[in-house]
Amino acid sequence: SKLSHQDITTTNDQVLLLETNLDDTTGQQLAAVIKQSLEVGAKDAWAEPIVMKKGRPAYKLSLLVSPQKKELFVKFIFENTPAIGLRLQLMQREIMERRIEIAKTAYGEVRVKKLSYHGITKFSLENDDLRHCVQGTKENLEKIKYAVLQEIENNKNEGE
Amino acid sequence: SKLSHQDITTTNDQVLLLETNLDDTTGQQLAAVIKQSLEVGAKDAWAEPIVMKKGRPAYKLSLLVSPQKKELFVKFIFENTPAIGLRLQLMQREIMERRIEIAKTAYGEVRVKKLSYHGITKFSLENDDLRHCVQGTKENLEKIKYAVLQEIENNKNEGE
Amino acid sequence: SKLSHQDITTTNDQVLLLETNLDDTTGQQLAAVIKQSLEVGAKDAWAEPIVMKKGRPAYKLSLLVSPQKKELFVKFIFENTPAIGLRLQLMQREIMERRIEIAKTAYGEVRVKKLSYHGITKFSLENDDLRHCVQGTKENLEKIKYAVLQEIENNKNEGE
Amino acid sequence: SKLSHQDITTTNDQVLLLETNLDDTTGQQLAAVIKQSLEVGAKDAWAEPIVMKKGRPAYKLSLLVSPQKKELFVKFIFENTPAIGLRLQLMQREIMERRIEIAKTAYGEVRVKKLSYHGITKFSLENDDLRHCVQGTKENLEKIKYAVLQEIENNKNEGE
Amino acid sequence: SKLSHQDITTTNDQVLLLETNLDDTTGQQLAAVIKQSLEVGAKDAWAEPIVMKKGRPAYKLSLLVSPQKKELFVKFIFENTPAIGLRLQLMQREIMERRIEIAKTAYGEVRVKKLSYHGITKFSLENDDLRHCVQGTKENLEKIKYAVLQEIENNKNEGE
Amino acid sequence: SKLSHQDITTTNDQVLLLETNLDDTTGQQLAAVIKQSLEVGAKDAWAEPIVMKKGRPAYKLSLLVSPQKKELFVKFIFENTPAIGLRLQLMQREIMERRIEIAKTAYGEVRVKKLSYHGITKFSLENDDLRHCVQGTKENLEKIKYAVLQEIENNKNEGE
Ligand code: NI
Ligand code: NI
Ligand code: NI
Ligand code: NI
Ligand code: NI
Ligand code: NI
Ligand code: NI
Ligand code: NI
Ligand code: NI
Ligand code: NI
Ligand code: NI
Ligand code: NI
């Protein structure tokens, strides 16, 4: 329901985007900074190719972080890249509610991420688990997927 | 004038940007989603190559929509892509005032988009019409363009 | 300290981002617009490859300007590109405090940009000056860099 | 077997790559040229973002054509783009052998592309047909896929 | 004719492409290398965004040079970038024949590049000259273009 | 000398480039394929953003492999991606000769990659070792680099 949903996502309603254009760092360093930013708590991190002033083939680094961690990540960028300035943007975020369930099939157990948002629902089967089942039973992937989906179907009567 | 201009563009003053980073969709699906989003009313839609976490060559999908249609397009993205989260940003928009006129030349009619913004003006000749004139008269494109521009010049006395 | 820092950066706290997607301009024109925008006072300007509607390989042009110059740069884009609309976004900006010092070494003088932000500090040696020293003395670049850094170290006692 | 395979793919063994860097065309024109090149017989066509000399954000256009059509496509590029030069490269091509089969299931018929290359095999189910079955029977997509794969399995005894 | 054409383009028939993937250089350096390579005689130079191994957002540098200058440019890349290896490819090149003519109009002189290739012809008007005419006469650009094209038309009787 | 150099690089003189345009794979899969290709012996692997036919935002996958492993890697691509065709190109490769030396400094040992090509030489200091020295001695990175370079200088008398 909408109310319970809002309770759950309240703390995620806002994210802070940090951006900086880098024409004085290397690809090696960029990859390291993206990795490290996630280790210290960024929600997401990525790089976009851009053409900067003076015709420089460069990258824009973007971090998505909790607004409470603004100070932490501004410092993170200044300490781990040559940037001397960056831009910040508070953005709203919508996320689907997630519930993990276990589908027990004849081929093994597969985690299913059940996603919902205001009446829309979708599933996402855990890839690792599917591969496990394939390896353990030498069965066809599609067959296993189908068994998982049948299991989900059977459980539907028990409500969301 | 500024006042009449603001009347015209009031409803366009704000647009909502929806963004999501996708490392689990294909190029085929992305192209389909961009096309479909425009069919259901997005003002614009595009994809940007990005390098996501874990070194994934991915794309960021961006939709520009009317703020009133927020709910519609959040659902659209969740239903039509594997995204389980997205970012939203209310942005201001400035657009040039558009007026379509018909320039009647010896070679045929050509629609002219007259664009203006606070004293700046520019024209944009309808490509399809120009090609029509070229095909119909076997005349040089530049010659036809020039005739159109003369027609615009002549009409100027009749005011904006 | 935070206070003195805020005094210095107050006027820079906000920047305005102007964006427009261009599928009807050429690379030549884009490079010219980026260059020209900086000449008339943009803080930064760049282009990002995007895939626009109807599968068009295009570029998004971004300008970062002082919020006071909004009108100037909206007109700049409308006058210098085929854009008939653009998006605006007020963004917060954090910048490191900069102080230029001269390091006098046996190989020549080198400007050093001292950067600081809430307790973090870093240096940036002026490349042109380093090259000058290399050319004047035929000495190794690393040796000269080291001399500069020793000079910085010596001056530290004199406080920030 | 290798021999019979080579008989089949002999005419496809070589393809000609045509490339040209374009900083004086628009995204609209590029999309049109890609589309048109396929209509006049190119095997493939695409554009890659590049940063050209003088810092120009541009695109490289690539066409893949039959070597016999070299003259046709060199002219095609010169006539349909502002290019005044282009590069050509004869490349070898390996393609998987394709055989289309029809899987008749309880939900409808689905075309299956059977692909093989020197002992490797894979399948590709025709998306349009799967959607047809989903629409006609309101059944789950995975269930239909599974039925198709069972059908393929059953037919295997009849050999390649 | 084909023969006379081949005489003219013989020396251009082949070009050498040098490529290297760079994840340890900066955008500043890339822009400098592209510029410098042209100054020492490269026919063309550009950079393409790529995603390298270990998820590194990087660039591929490409130089197009005369095959006779292979040694020069292999050394150029090794000396001016961190590359420790590069790839080379001899490519065929087709270029349109160029002839510069001067169109004398009432608004000033405009250089016209006449391009031809096996029966195809196109023109390219010198931008700088057009702008000169606009500035000198305050006339409309399209009007001047049209005058130039009329001049070209008149001269056609005098043969290619 | 040229002769001894050629002896050393003979086996590296040629590399095989495999390329395929993918509009039906995901970023997750692309990253996995790049990683796996290197594990099974590719010399290099990368992805380039491209705009494919029908306006699809896609990626071109490139592998660089030993020509002897052509069959292995053609199969690798067909088995690990949805590709049903790929292009191959034999390319020449030039690589700098590498010799690893150990520079013993007061701060610790640092491996130095000495690179040479037909009279050109450059160095590359092992980053991991430098960081080790910084951590072990709390000394300035530039100071350690300088010590390494002095050590290299001292050893020069002993010939290449
Ligand atoms: Ni809810
Ligand atoms: Ni909600
Ligand atoms: Ni107005
Ligand atoms: Ni207004
Ligand atoms: Ni972007
Ligand atoms: Ni501060
Ligand atoms: Ni075969
Ligand atoms: Ni074969
Ligand atoms: Ni000819
Ligand atoms: Ni010819
Ligand atoms: Ni050699
Ligand atoms: Ni490329």
* pLDDT reported for residue E8: 41
Tens of pLDDT along B86-129?
999 999 999 999 998 899 999 999 999 999 999 999 988 988 89
What does the alpha-carbon distance between residue B73 and residue B66 come to, in Å, rounded to a whole number? 9
CB contact under 8 Å between C71 and B118, yes or no, is: yes
Q: Counting one residue from B and one from C, how many pairs have CB atoms under 8 Å apart?
A: 67
Q: Is residue F23 assigned to a domain?
A: yes
Q: What percent of chain C has pLDDT over 90?
A: 69
Among the candidates B92, B111, B133, a domain finishes at B92
Phi-psi region of E139 (alpha: psi -120 to 50; beta: other; left: phi over 0): beta
Centre of ligand 3 from the C-alpha of residue A45, in Å: 41
**Set of chain C residues whose Cβ sits within 8 Å of the Cβ of F153:** 140
Give me the helices (H) in A40-157, please.
Answer: 70-80, 127-137, 141-155
Residues B108 and B76 in one domain: no
Calculate mean pLDDT across residues C17-40. 97
Model confidence pLDDT, tens digit, residues A99-121: 988 999 999 999 999 999 999 99
Q: Are C49 and C72 part of one and the same domain?
A: yes
- Residue E68 belongs to domain with CATH number: 3.30.70.1380
Domain boundary among F92, F127, F149: F92
Helix, strand, or coil (residue C145)? helix
Answer yes or no: do A22 and A82 share one domain.
yes
- Picking from F47, F96, F113, the nearest residue to E78 by CB comes out as F96
> Which stretches within chain F are classed as H helix?
2-9, 27-39, 70-80, 127-137, 141-155
**Lowest-confidence range among A6-15, A28-37, E63-72?**
A6-15
Say if B43 falls within a structural domain.
yes
Greater pLDDT, D62 or C150: D62
Tens-place pLDDT, residues B24-77: 999 999 999 999 999 999 999 999 999 999 999 999 999 999 999 999 999 999
One domain for residues A112 and A148 = yes
* Smallest-distance ligand from the CA of A98: 1
Residue A14 Cα to ligand 6 midpoint, Å, equals: 22
Give the mean pLDDT of E71-90: 96
Whether E83 and E111 map to the same domain: the answer is: no
In a domain, E6, yes or no: no
Sequence-separated (6 or more) residues with CB below 8 Å from residue C51? B30, B31, B34, B46, B47, B48, B59, C57, C58, F51, F55, F57
**pLDDT at residue C138 tops 50:** yes
**Closest CB from A17, A45, A94 relative to B53:** A45
Regarding whether C103 and C139 lie in a shared domain, the answer is yes
pLDDT at A153: 80
HEC states along chain E?
A: CHHHHHHHHHHHCEEEEEEEEECCCCHHHHHHHHHHHHHCCCCEEEEEEEEEHHHEEEEEEEEEECHHHHHHHHHHHHHHCCCCEEEEEEEEEEECEEEEEEEEECCEEEEEEEEEECCEEEEEECHHHHHHHHHHHCCCHHHHHHHHHHHHHHHHHHCC
Of A44-53, C122-131, D9-18, the poorest mean pLDDT is in: D9-18
Verify that F17 and F88 share a domain, yes or no. yes
Distance C14 CA to ligand 6 centre (A): 13
Whether residue D137 lies inside any domain: the answer is: yes
* Interchain CB distance below 8 Å, C79 and B122: yes
pLDDT digits (tens, 9 = 90+) for D109-153: 999 999 999 999 998 898 889 989 998 998 888 888 888 988 888
pLDDT in tens, F111-132: 999 999 999 999 889 888 998 9
Owning domain of residue C149: 97-158
Token pair in block for residue C54: 């109807």
- Domain shared by E86 and E103, yes or no: no
The model's confidence at residue F158, banded by pLDDT at 50, 70 and 90, is low
In a domain, D7, yes or no: no
Give the three-state DSSP class for F21: strand
Q: Is residue E156 pLDDT above 80, yes or no?
A: no
- Place D88 in a pLDDT band, splitting at 50, 70 and 90: very high
What are residue A36's DSSP bridge partners? none
Contacts 24+ apart (CB under 8 A), F136-141: F136/F107, F136/F108, F137/F107, F137/F108, F139/F107, F140/C149, F140/C153
* Angle (nearest 5°) at CA F159 between F155 and F160: 100
* F69 lies in the same domain as F123: no
| B72 and B112 together in one domain | no
- Within a domain: E8: no
**Which residues of A sit within 8 Å Cβ distance of B?**
15, 17, 30-31, 34-35, 38, 44-49, 59, 64, 89, 91-96, 98, 113, 115, 117-118, 120, 122, 124
pLDDT score for E139: 85
Give the one of C22, C31, C58 whose C-beta lies nearest to D56's C-beta. Answer: C31
Q: Is the pLDDT of residue F143 over 90?
A: no
CB-nearest partner of D55 from A54, A145, A146: A54
At residue C142, the pLDDT reads: 81
Tell me: pLDDT of C8 over 70: no
Smallest CA-to-CA distance from D52 within E30, A82, E151, A60 is with E30
Identify whether A1 is part of a domain.
no
Write out the two tokens for B38: 């425009």
Q: DSSP secondary structure string, B70-90?
A: HHHHHHHHHHHSS-SEEEEEE
The span from the first CA to the last CA of chain E, in angstroms, equals: 11
CA–centroid distance, D120 to ligand 7, in Å, is 9
Q: Which two tokens stand for residue D47?
A: 């554009």
Which site among F87, F88, F89, F92 would you substitute to test the D interface, given the most D Cβ atoms closer than 10 Å to its Cβ? Answer: F87
Total number of domains in chain D: 2
A27-41, D34-48, F141-155: lowest mean pLDDT where? F141-155
Q: Among D68-72, D145-149, F25-29, F87-91, whose mean pLDDT is lowest?
A: D145-149
| Mean pLDDT value across residues D56-62 | 98
Does E124 share its domain with E149? yes
End residue of a domain, out of E92, E110, E142 = E92
Q: So what's the pLDDT on residue F1? A: 27
Q: How far apart are CA B24 and CA B4, in angstroms?
A: 47
Counting as contact any 3 or more CB pairs under 8 A, the partners of E are A, B, D, F
**Is residue C2 domain-resident?**
no
Model ipTM value: 0.90
Indicate whether A68 and A104 sit together in one domain: no
| Chain B interface mutation, best of A2, A40, A46, highest count of B Cβ atoms under 10 Å | A46
The pLDDT confidence band at residue A7, using thresholds 50, 70 and 90, is: very low
Selecting from F22, F27, F56 the residue whose C-beta is nearest the C-beta of B23 gives F27
Q: Which residue has the tokens 């494109």?
A: B141
Cβ-defined contact of D56 to C23 (cutoff 8 Å)? no
What the block records as the tokens of F121 is 């030489």
Express each pLDDT in F20-76 by its tens digit.
999 999 999 999 999 999 999 999 999 999 999 999 999 999 999 999 999 999 999
Please tell me the distance in Å from F115's CA to the nearest CA on chain D: 29
